[in-house]
Amino acid sequence: MFQNLSERLESAFKNIKGEGRITELNIAATVKDIRRALVDADVNYKIAKEFTDTVKDKAIGSKVLLAVNPGQQMVKIVQDELAELMGGTEAELDIKGSPAVILIAGLQGSGKTTFSGKLANYLKTKKGKSPLLAAADIYRPAAIDQLTVLGGQIGVDVYSERENKDAVAIAQNAIKEAKAKNKNVVIIDTAGRLAIDEVLMTEVANIRNAVTPNEILFVVDSMTGQDAVNTAKAFNDRLDFTGVVLTKLDGDTRGGAALSIKYTVNKPIKFVSSGEKMDTLDVFYPDRMAQRILGMGDITSLVEKA
């Protein structure tokens, strides 16, 4: 297996601390290593290239701190840039309106239904809202049962129509139901779909047009590889989503998809999901994610101490 980035940097730069300035020459190998580390973390190949090139250009000429070597400093610069790129556009969840409507979409198995439950739980317990979950997945076996079980766990009502095969109508009816029952947020869980499935992409676009959501959240598995870019772009083209949710971050994935997606569609990452239980929902910390993608938290502290 590839040596990890920090080990490689240690050995490559053992003897050249305080070398003056970062130059094309003294960081060429580091840039290559960083690029590989990003790709190993599942950052899209082209994006890794573009990103490291841009950061390199910015870094060249900067003065190297005495206690570190140019390579380590370069990594620190990359880490900061990564965090900045993935953060920014700090946006609160829009839950204004009566009811506010939140549409959940994404690929099969990415964690939409689980996240819908978690979000309802969060809005109920942390934001004092009274949410309604809407079961608009008419395809997956037992999708309604799954959402109903989750709703039961968190004490949130679930709107469903077992015989109705029209997801758009179900979503619309759920909003009527919310109005009638004084619920102020409707979270619409939809079926998983492939970005190239025309019929299903049209269906979700139709739901969007019918219910004009405050938020459209694209739920993506943080273990996704190179294809994250294609999928995010395709969903964004059809839905113009308002935010991204990264799931399954409780594992050991490096999560490069987060960078690829932000870089491609420039939509904020609004939540991270890290567990199967209903209370495992977090806000997104760009700096932690940057460290995770690079696979090295230690460099920062090293450089910060210098």
Ligand X SMILES: Nc1nc2c(ncn2[C@@H]2O[C@H](COP(=O)(O)OP(=O)(O)OP(=O)(O)O)[C@@H](O)[C@H]2O)c(=O)[nH]1
Contacts with other proteins by CB under 8 A lie at: 1-2, 36, 39-42, 44-46, 107-111, 113, 139-142, 145-150, 153, 194-196, 221, 223-228, 230-231, 248, 250-254, 256-257, 276
273 binds, among ligand X, Mg ion, other proteins, none (CB under 5 to 8 A by kind): ligand X
Q: Of 16, 91, 149, 194, which lies in the binding site for ligand X, with binding defined by CB under 6 A?
A: 194
Which residues of this chain interact with Mg ion, rule CB under 5 A?
112-113
Q: What is the 3-state secondary structure (H, E, C) of 227-242?
A: CHHHHHHHHHHHHCCC
Site for ligand X in 234-293 (CB under 6 A): 247-248, 250, 273-276
Q: Which residue is nearest to Mg ion (CB)?
A: 113
Q: What's the min distance (Å) between Cβ of 69 and ligand X? A: 38
Q: Go through 195-209 and write b for each residue having 16 or more CB atoms within 10 A of its CB, e for each that does not.
A: beeeebbebbbebbe
40 binds, among Mg ion, other proteins, ligand X, none (CB under 5 to 8 A by kind): other proteins
Nearest to Mg ion of 113, 214 (CB atom): 113
Write the CA distances from 218 to 112, 234, 287, integer angstroms. Answer: 9, 11, 21
Q: Which residue is nearest to ligand X (CB)?
A: 192
Nearest to ligand X of 194, 283 (CB atom): 194
- 290 contacts: CB under 8 Å, gap ≥ 6: 79, 80, 82, 83, 86
First to last CA, the chain: 31
Q: How far is CA 197 from the centre of its chain?
A: 22
- For residue 294, give the 3-state DSSP assignment: helix
Q: What's the min distance (Å) between Cβ of 226 and other proteins? A: 5
Q: What's the min distance (Å) between Cβ of 101 and ligand X? A: 18
Whole-number Å distance between alpha carbons of 24 and 199 = 50
Q: Which residues bind ligand X (CB under 6 A)?
A: 106, 108-114, 137, 140, 143, 191-192, 194, 247-248, 250, 273-276
